[in-house]
Structure 1
Amino acid sequence: MSNKVLFCATVDYHFKAFHLPILKWFKEKGWEVHIAASGEIELPYVDQKYNIPIQRSPFQSKNVEAYQELKAIIDKNDYKIIHCHTPMGGVLTRLAAKQARKHGTKVFYTAHGFHFCKGGPTMNWLLYYPIEKVLARYTDCLITINNEDYELANSHRFRATEIEHVHGVGVDTERFKPLNIVDKRNQREKLGYNANDFLLFYAAEFNKNKNQQFLIKALAKIKDSIPNARLLLAGEGILQDSCKKLASELGVDHMVEFLGYRNDIVNLLPMCDVAVASSLREGLPVNIMEAMACGLPVVAIKNRGHIQLVKNNENGFIVNSEENELFSKKLKELGTNKALCNTLGQNSIRMVKQFSLLTVSMELHGIYSRYMLRDTDETKDKYNRAYI
């Protein structure tokens, strides 16, 4: 009978977006791969998929149903490894797997950015910190994706069996890569942009944390000095209409393009000049890594994820969330100094290599392999002791 691994998250798209290489790796190792998450999309490399009604909010009653379904699945399948992702996926899965751990199941949890962090809201610390600290006791391997979370888990004595650090979820540098001058110009013409447009790009859901209003205000400060600037905002969300209203009020509605949901980011990024990022909280953002792989400098608000990717005067600039004037100044600096823009962009390409899909996959393979080997050794020891 083949070994079984279960991956859990709040929504199934999480695996399509970030974890297909790991699912493939387990299949190539001969493991049976199961997925438990909310959603009905088809995923490759998956033998069994469970649509579980996990909700993002911890206060939704459907999470009780999700917990019960998860526990039944886990108790039935005798998994060797369970790996959970996302806050609610991590909470419900680790609770549901408590009994299974007593029978040898190893439980992994990847924290894609703790909801509590330095400078974070007090409410997040009051709500999420005690939950994560308690659940660490039911975790064989807690995986963090940025330095601050790794240090926090260790300094606050999270009692996971092991705490590891990997470089995010990985960026595919074979797909996201720079364009040469001719191809860049052709791509702009194809999508209706001029060769001399100064294109700023940000892809994110329109919500309070992503903070697109900050970018629109910064753009308004450079509209006279760089009239050819264009801010491309990909994504949807509840604050999209208010952002459109703000752009109109500030007289930059003709300079901001609301692109909506896009599945062609790989074609949009390489034709742009600068990546901007205004989110207040991030774990280790893929959108920034993709921009870096495409050779873009980055101007971003200071948070634990951004500061791990962006270094001042090396591949871009980090600005405090209250420093909108400085943010706009850095945009103007890049918009009027093409040589600087190119230099920082080249540094982005060099610096993103440690966050590549290949690097992260190797890090995860190493962690999984240690547990697989450890399990084999433990099994041999039990067998030998039984016949001594």
Structure 2
Amino acid sequence: MKKILFVASTLSHIENFHMPYIKYFKEHGYNVHVIGKANNKSELKCIDKIIPVPFQKNMFSIKNFSNAIKISKIIKSENYDIISLHTTLAAFFTRLGIMLSFNKPNLVINTVHGYLFDNNSSFIKKIIMVMAEKITKCVTDTIIVMNRDDYKIAQKHKLYRNNIYSIDGMGINLSSYSPISYEDKIALRKKHHFSINDFFLIYVAEFSKRKNQKFIINTVDKLVKDGYTNIKLLLLGDGILLDELKTYTKELGINNNVFFIGYTKDTCTYYQMADICVSSSRIEGLPFNIMEAMCVGLPIVASNVKGHKDLVIPNENGFLFEYDNDSEFYTYIKTIYDSKEIQYKMSNKSLDLVENYSINNILPKTINIILNEYKSHI
């Protein structure tokens, strides 16, 4: 029986993005193993072996180098046919483990969910991240990327041995996120004790420096002070900066305009209540939160960074503002707020565009890439 290993930084990443792929390989006779930090909220099914590895969010963590040694022993003993890598640090330290094992599988395929650098990153950061990819290139047969900028980066630095492919994300289940009527939106807001007259911005993301929620909180503060008191911000997720930003919001005096929902699997309900999806992230791969919002038919206002640029067509399904430019962000929110016509046009365009990212389209293409690459390596 052929054996495949999926690796990601956390088991929740596996749970959220890779279960359709795992199910496919399981149904086609593969023995399926996964590696990741144990933080998922529910049982992972269709998996033969779950191997918890506590990856740290630090390239220089001693624990990560210890993880690489642990992984090398696993690879020696398991003799995988295919290793499918996801998320930057987990992919790097797993490839170190492959190198240390002297037992490379037939196919090692690295799916890049967003390189952690771009042209605006510091010189030192770029050098470190590119060198990490180059060091492990010797065991990286194939790369799959999700946005135009990462494709250029991988090509420029030749970060793979054989082939590079581009896909439109891991695929989103359109049936799990759907638009609702105005009447249903009103009913949903009443159910959750929100006013029908409120105008909601929504941001679903881990609370981190990279996701930059403080920027949006500051803009909401300015909008409220300028008289847009019915603008409300829904922040979904958890993370290391959550408590700090809760305190900051209270200090600004806008805790009646900013709602920290916390971690929830029911993000769809909150998208359906919202009016605009926002993102102030510094860098992305191909963000699921934007695609989920597009499924519901929301206009998007997002920072002009890689990943966002692949999903948002300015003036069609939303706007792109220069990173950390509060006046641009403020203006775009007001533009949509003031015009039902723009809201309607952008909503319909989001619904049209998101069809390209359906799991029904992406899954067979990505599976074919993996299987064809595997055949070429045996």
In the superposition, the TM-score normalised over structure 1's length comes to: 0.91
Residues 281, 305 of structure 1: 8 Å contact kept: yes
Match of 2:371 in 1: 369
Contact 1:137 1:161 in 2 (8 A): no
Deviates more, 1:233-242 or 1:359-368: 233-242
* Contact map agreement 1:78 1:100 (CA 8 A) in 2: no
Q: Which has the larger radius of gyration?
A: 1
Q: Which structure 1 segments of 5+ residues have no match?
A: 379-388
Contact 1:136–1:142 (CA under 8 A) maintained in structure 2: no
1:295 aligns to what? 297
The CA distance in 2 between the partners of 1:130 and 1:104, in whole Å, is 23
Structure 2 residue matching 1:119: 3-state secondary structure: coil
The answer to whether the 8 Å contact 1:234/1:261 transfers is: yes
Rounded Cα–Cα distance in structure 2 between residues aligned with 1:70 and 1:323: 43
Asked if residue 58 in structure 1 is aligned to residue 59 in structure 2, the reply is yes
Alignment check: 8 A CA contact 2:143 2:160 kept: no
What SS is found at the alignment partner of 1:36? strand
Distance 1:57 1:220 in 2: 33
Select the residue among 286, 289, 294 that pairs with 2:288.
Answer: 286
Aligned residue in 2 for 1:98: 99
Q: CA deviation at 1:238?
A: 3.1
Which deviates more from structure 2 when the two are superposed, residues 49-58 or residues 30-39? 49-58
Query: Which residue among 335, 338, 341 is the counterpart of 2:337?
Result: 335
**Structural mapping, 1:175-254, within 5 Å:** 175-223=176-224, 224-254=226-256
Relative distance call for 1:71 and 1:344 in structure 2 (3 A) is: same
Q: Which runs of 4+ in 1 moved over 4 A?
A: 99-104
Determine the structure 1 residue equivalent to 2:5: 6
Paired residues of 2:72 and 2:101 also in contact (CA < 8 A): no
Cα deviations across residues 60-90 of structure 1 (Å, max 9, x unaligned)? 2222332222112211222110111122211
| Counterpart position of 2:82 | 81
Deviations 1:363-384 (A, max 9, x none): 2111022124335xx5xxxxxx
Give yes or no for contact 2:75–2:103 (8 Å, CA) kept in 1: no
Deviations 1:251-280 (A, max 9, x none): 433211121222211211112110011111
Unaligned runs of 5+ residues in structure 2 are none
Asked if 1 retains the 8 angstrom alpha-carbon contact of 2:69 and 2:100, the reply is no
CA–CA separation in structure 1 for the residues paired with 2:150 and 2:104: 30
Q: Secondary structure at the match of 1:254?
A: coil
Given that 2:72 and 2:98 are in contact with CA atoms closer than 8 Å, whether structure 1 keeps it comes out as yes
Matched residue, 2:22: 23
Residues matched between the structures, number: 375
Distance in 2, Cα, partners of 1:248 & 1:6:
46
Contact kept in structure 2, 1:198 and 1:272, CA below 8 Å: yes
1:249 CA drift (Å) = 4.4
Q: Secondary structure of the equivalent of 2:164?
A: strand
Secondary structure of the structure 2 residue equivalent to 1:174: helix
Q: State the SS of the aligned residue for 1:167.
A: coil
Deviation track 1:265-300 (CA, whole Å, cap 9, x = no partner) reads 121111211001111111111111100111000111
Contact 2:109 2:140 in 1 (8 A): yes
